[in-house]
Amino acid sequence: MTKIGLEIHCQLTKLESKLFCSCKANYREFEPNHNICPVCMGLPGSLPRLNQKAVESATSIAMALNCQTPEKIAFFRKNYFYPDLPKNFQITQLNVYGDMSVGGEGYVDVEGKKIKIRRIQLEEDPGRLIYEGASDRTKITLVDYNRAGTPLVEIVTDPDFDNPRQVRIFLNILSDLLENLGVAEPGLEGAMRADGNVSIEGGNKVEIKNIGSFHDLEKALHFELTRQQSLSERDIEIAMETRHWDDRRKITISSRSKEEDQDYRYFLENDIPWVKIEQNTRDTLKENMPESISSKKERYIHKFDIAPQVADIIASDRYYSQLFENAYSEHNAKDIANLITTDVIGFIDTKEKQETSKITPKHLSDLIDAINAKTITRNSAKVALQEIVKSGKDTDRILKEMDLGQVSDSSEIDGIISQIFEDEKQAVIDAKERPETVNFLVGKVMQKTKGKADPVKTLELIKSKLNQ
Amino acid sequence: MNLNTSILKYIEDVKSGTFTVEEFTAATLQRIKDVDTDVHAYLSLNDSAINDAKKIDQKISSGEKIGQCYGFPISIKDNICITGTKTTCASKILENFIAPYTSTVVNHLQNEDAIITGKTNLDEFAMGLTTEFSAYGPTKNPWNVDYVPGGSSGGSAASVAANECLASLGSDTGGSVRNPASFCSVVGLKPTYGLISRYGLISYANSIEQIGPMTKTVKDSAFLLNIIAGQDVHDDTTIDNGNANYLENIENGIEGKKIGIIKEMTTSDGLSSEVSTATKDAINDFESLGASCEEVALPTIPYTIAAYYTITSTEAGSNLARYDNIRYGYEMESEGYEYNSYISKSRTKFGPEVTRRIILGGFVPSAGHAGKYFLKALKVKSKLISEINSAFEKFDYLIAPTSPVQPFRFGEKIDDPVTLMLLDYNTVTANLTGKPAISVPYRVVNGLPIGMQIMANSLEEKSLFQAAHALETKTKLPEVPL
């Protein structure tokens, strides 16, 4: 039986400051080694001071993943030498003498299967190593400590996944959930990373590290499963080991260093006293927690009769769901939802586009009102949306400026139809003989009116003229 | 000018115009020039001390608001950071480390217009009891320069005893303030864990160490504690002391108080007869002051040295891991080394005692050995805490001599690490339990000092000072012969 487990690291990028000092948690905008201080550089005599907000964010994550959250938590030192680690130990958490990390024993529902969350811990991210100008003769490694001390949440699952596909679905659910909580931005480069461990029937557990993206994780898991199966078929023992993902060759390679044997000499970080998380703090966190994606989806489907696939798209994405929540009223919710999934998404499908987009919830409700009042057509709405995203001007103004108002005046449409009957004589004859070809004529009217003619009325008028 | 004066007397004299801050500072610097070649209390001096003094004099003459310290000269142990100055920990590995920030305690002192004279010698990274483990040579005991001054804050104690300043800040992990205070006949306080911010104190064993004042009188100790104690946003382990005034009611005496004489510390094999006699006399003094004394047994004490060295080595191994000479440190050619060989090579700069403890610290908490050593040491610690807590239900104070022996000659014990470790026997209990303890100069026998230690319950510093002051009034000590 295939068993896959995950270790996911997610930066709490929505926090103002690092885990133990006041340097920015958002280190990405800085020149190398310009987001550092005596504390995150581990200078002699400096002491960590815990960012309480980080404890709250991590506790929220634990709660959202259905974990038990303890009344008090402690931090530990994980001792090892590495150039990206300013103190040569990492401040992290451990669940050894009872529950002492922010959470444990949770689960995530993946297509009806419960994936158990073993533990969640809060820790500091190390700095970044940059291999630059590396050649065989001179190998230079640069260290950028801007990232050192960034709050990081480690989420460890049980080996409950049967296949890489489940892993992918889980990670999608997880990253949507973290984003929905407003604590992380999983889309940011390097903000969410995962290691996997894989074993097959009768084989030892193999850990895979150094996987750059979730996309690569799925590939790495596939590769590793195939490798293990082929060993097993030839009766070769699968060694318990750590393997690194080689991004270039897309294979896993045995790490010669015996990382699994490393002794981290864990012991309590006494510079940070035990942190009490009072019941009322937990209650407040629970109260303020945004509605979960699954409950949002249920609500959209049952309250507004929105199609499940549409509800899923909107509920899973923080941006779309906020747009939706602020735009809908009782009578137009379904229309708004459809407008978002059919048209809006096409214009703002990336984070960058969402950030620069000028669209507001009012634009959406105005457009739906206009469509329902037959002031504009669906087609015109789409044209208008493109402009709205760009300029953010009032819907009314855009409709006027772009001359998108719907033509529903019978006499005006009639005139256009007469003209077309003149120009397209053969089509008129065809339509009389084979009524299903009438759409050609409707299309011609639309072309002439740049899509502004009311399509229902147009069809009505053409039909009556054909019967004359 | 009489440099053998207390802080409180100094402040009176400056206020009354007996001398100016500049005059006193100049005289102190001259004294350092005269005696420090023999004593070697200082590792570096503050070049701007005279300028600082002039500024304070100007403040005084212009009637400007002036800090409580009125420019009295104070030395700082060289494991406490001050912006722009070398902080070496008496180690070659930090030979060129210039602190980019100032510790909270020094900030407090500077805000109150104290003048920093310089940085004082210590055993490398505060590991030792004699200052013989300083990478820059030992400090001599001002009472007799052939004898050790105690340690690790030996430079601090000697600087005060030799009148090279009026007070000093040391740090106490297992007795490092109290032991040299006892050896050099000055007052040394190890406060309750968390009372003084450790921000800027270079960690050795961070779960038990504290910065502590070293002064000529008990009142000066209380005065300094008023300035440096209290909660600090830079140190999560600090506690709120409600702005306590430790000088208040310091002369209240100890009439009716109950004192426990710690049996294990007053009857141990290592106790010298001179120290034993002095202890008996001190007990008589306490009784004549109206307190009642009674022996109390704390049966865990014989295990404390082992527990202490296990815990401190574990923490030291971790705290000193950052010295890999990559981000700061000393000049070293990196050509031909990769990461692991580079840090191995760079770390050979640690001296013998530090190396010994780092090696021990890699072993005792390691998987497979932690149960036998580190975790057992933690058990001893928690057992000791409950033992001492129940003792404080019965007693107001617990007393013992600060050190089982008087100062000894250089080289006498340095080659015998285990004997050296046993010198901590009477002091580590206060660190392991977080309780405050003070060493009060009690006697000078054969030209060498003996100090008495008084311990009180957590945050009972005020009461501790009352007892220490009461004992101090019973003593009459000679002047330092230097």
Residue A137 confidence (pLDDT) above 70: no
Tell me the nearest-neighbour CA distance from A7 into chain B, angstroms.
Answer: 23
Q: Is B197 a catalytic residue?
A: no
Token pair, residue A258, equals 């015996």
pLDDT in tens, chain B (482 residues): 899 999 999 999 999 999 999 999 999 999 999 999 999 999 999 999 999 999 999 999 999 999 999 999 999 999 999 999 999 999 999 999 999 999 999 999 999 999 999 999 999 999 999 999 999 999 999 999 999 999 999 999 999 999 999 999 999 999 999 999 999 999 999 999 999 999 999 999 999 999 999 999 999 999 999 999 999 999 999 999 999 999 999 999 999 999 999 999 999 888 999 999 999 999 999 999 999 999 999 999 999 999 999 999 999 999 999 999 999 888 888 888 888 899 999 999 999 999 999 999 999 999 889 889 999 999 999 999 999 999 999 999 999 999 999 999 999 887 877 777 789 999 999 999 999 999 999 999 999 999 999 999 999 999 999 999 999 999 999 999 98
* Interchain pair B89, A47: CB under 8 A: no
Q: Are residues A315 and A440 in the same domain?
A: no
Q: Are residues A233 and A378 in the same domain?
A: no
Region A17-37 average pLDDT: 95
Tell me the nearest-neighbour CA distance from B100 into chain A, angstroms.
Answer: 8
Q: Are residues A24 and A47 in the same domain?
A: yes
Dihedral angle, C-alpha B349, B353, B359, B362, nearest 10 °:
-100
Whether A77 has its CB under 8 Å from any CB of chain B: the answer is yes
Q: Which residues pair with A243 in a beta bridge?
A: A208, A254
Q: Are residues A260 and A306 in the same domain?
A: no
Q: Are residues A79 and A169 in the same domain?
A: yes
* Interchain pair A46, B236: CB under 8 A: no
Cα separation, A62 vs A50, whole angstroms? 18
Residue A407 confidence (pLDDT) above 70: no
Of B75, B134, B152, B346, which one is the catalytic site residue?
Answer: B152
**Measured between CB atoms, which of A50, A83, A270 is closest to B207?**
A270
The strand pair at A3-11 and A192-199 is best described as antiparallel
Chain B residues with CB under 8 Å of A268 CB are 207
Q: Are residues A219 and A143 in the same domain?
A: yes
Q: Are residues A253 and A387 in the same domain?
A: no
Angle made by CA atoms A132, A21, B206, in degrees to the nearest 5: 105
Whether B322 has its CB under 8 Å from any CB of chain A: the answer is yes
Residues B216, B219, B221, B224, CA torsion sign: negative
* Interchain pair B237, A270: CB under 8 A: yes
Could you tell me the CATH number of the domain that includes residue A430?
1.10.10
Q: What is the DSSP letter of B370?
A: T
* 3-class secondary structure, B272: coil
* Predicted pLDDT of residue A456: 77
Whether B93 has its CB under 8 Å from any CB of chain A: the answer is no
Cα separation, B278 vs B263, whole angstroms? 15
* Interchain pair B81, A45: CB under 8 A: yes
Instruction: Among A282, A306, A332, identify where a domain stops.
Output: A282
Omega of the bond prior to B152 within 30 degrees of 0, cis? yes
* Interchain pair A38, B233: CB under 8 A: no
* Interchain pair B340, A81: CB under 8 A: yes
B166 touches B5 (CB < 8 A):
yes
| Chain B residue with minimum CA distance to A145 | B327
Q: Which of residues 99-158 of A touch B (CB under 8 A)?
A: 141, 143
* Predicted pLDDT of residue A256: 64
Instruction: Among A282, A310, A343, identify where a domain stops.
Output: A282
Residue A224 confidence (pLDDT) above 60: yes
| pLDDT per position as a tens digit, A241-279 | 888 888 788 888 887 655 556 789 999 999 999 999 988
Cα separation, B276 vs A359, whole angstroms? 86
| Chain A residue with minimum CA distance to B370 | A265
Between A110-119, A149-158, A340-349, B435-444, the lowest mean confidence (pLDDT) is in A340-349
**Measured between CB atoms, which of B339, B365, B367 is closest to A83?**
B339
Q: Are residues A75 and A150 in the same domain?
A: yes
Cα separation, A63 vs A282, whole angstroms? 9
* Interchain pair B198, A47: CB under 8 A: yes
Q: Residue B467: left (phi > 0), alpha (psi -120 to 50), or beta?
A: alpha
Chain A residues with CB under 8 Å of B207 CB are 268, 270
* Predicted pLDDT of residue A138: 61
* Predicted pLDDT of residue A260: 53
| Chain A residue with minimum CA distance to B203 | A45
Question: CB pairs below 8 Å between A and B: how many?
Answer: 95
Q: Which residue of A17, A22, A46 is the best one to mutate when testing the B interface, meaning the one whose CB has the most B CBs within 10 A?
A: A46
Q: Which residue of A36, A47, A262 is the best one to mutate when testing the B interface, meaning the one whose CB has the most B CBs within 10 A?
A: A47
Whether B321 has its CB under 8 Å from any CB of chain A: the answer is yes
Q: Are residues A317 and A278 in the same domain?
A: no
**Measured between CB atoms, which of B97, B318, B366 is closest to A44?**
B97
| pLDDT per position as a tens digit, A423-451 | 888 888 888 888 788 888 888 887 777 77
Q: Are residues A329 and A453 in the same domain?
A: no
- Domain span at residue A86? 3-282
Chain A residues with CB under 8 Å of B370 CB are 265
**Measured between CB atoms, which of B236, B322, B328 is closest to A88?**
B322
* Predicted pLDDT of residue A147: 96
B443 touches B189 (CB < 8 A):
no
CATH number, domain B7-252+437-473, options 3.90.226.10, 3.40.980.10, 1.10.10.10, 3.90.1300.10: 3.90.1300.10
Chain B residues with CB under 8 Å of A51 CB are none
**Measured between CB atoms, which of A38, A141, A267 is closest to B374?**
A267
Q: Which residues pair with A24 in a beta bridge?
A: A17
* Interchain pair A271, B367: CB under 8 A: no
Token pair, residue B161, equals 């005893």
* Interchain pair B236, A83: CB under 8 A: no
Chain A residues with CB under 8 Å of B318 CB are 77, 79, 89, 265, 267
B414 touches B130 (CB < 8 A):
yes
Backbone phi and psi for residue A299, each to the nearest 5 degrees, phi listed first: -65, -45
Tell me the nearest-neighbour CA distance from A148 into chain B, angstroms.
Answer: 14
| Chain A residue with minimum CA distance to B239 | A273
Tell me the nearest-neighbour CA distance from B144 into chain A, angstroms.
Answer: 33
Of B6, B77, B159, B182, which one is the catalytic site residue?
Answer: B77
The number of distinct structural domains making up chain A is 3
B456 touches B435 (CB < 8 A):
yes
CA distances from residue A399 to A125, A328, A349, A387 in whole angstroms, order as listed: 51, 21, 24, 10
Whether A276 has its CB under 8 Å from any CB of chain B: the answer is no
Token pair, residue A424, equals 């397209």
Q: What is the DSSP letter of B398?
A: E
pTM of the complete model:
0.86
DSSP result, B121-186? --SGGG--SSSTT-TT-PPPBTTBTTB---SSTHHHHHHHHTTSSSEEEEEESSSTTHHHHHHHT-
Token pair, residue B26, equals 């100049």
Token pair, residue B151, equals 């340690």
Q: Where are the alpha helices (DSSP H) in B185-271?
A: 218-228, 263-266
Instruction: Among A401, A428, A457, identify where a domain stops.
Output: A401
**Measured between CB atoms, which of B201, B318, B324 is closest to A79?**
B318
* Interchain pair B321, A38: CB under 8 A: no
The better pLDDT of the pair A295, B462 is held by: B462
B282 touches B471 (CB < 8 A):
yes
Q: Are residues A96 and A155 in the same domain?
A: yes
Dihedral angle, C-alpha A11, A14, A20, A21, nearest 10 °:
130
Chain A residues with CB under 8 Å of B204 CB are none
Q: What is the DSSP letter of B328?
A: S
Q: Is B152 a catalytic residue?
A: yes
Domain chopping of chain B, boundaries: 7-252+437-473
Angle made by CA atoms A239, A241, A244, in degrees to the nearest 5: 125
Whether B326 has its CB under 8 Å from any CB of chain A: the answer is yes
Buried b (16+ CB within 10 A) or exposed e, A135-166: eeeeeeeebbbbbbbbbbbbbbbebbbeebeb
One-letter amino acid at B91 equals: S
* Interchain pair B365, A45: CB under 8 A: no
Q: Are residues A208 and A270 in the same domain?
A: yes
Whether B366 has its CB under 8 Å from any CB of chain A: the answer is yes
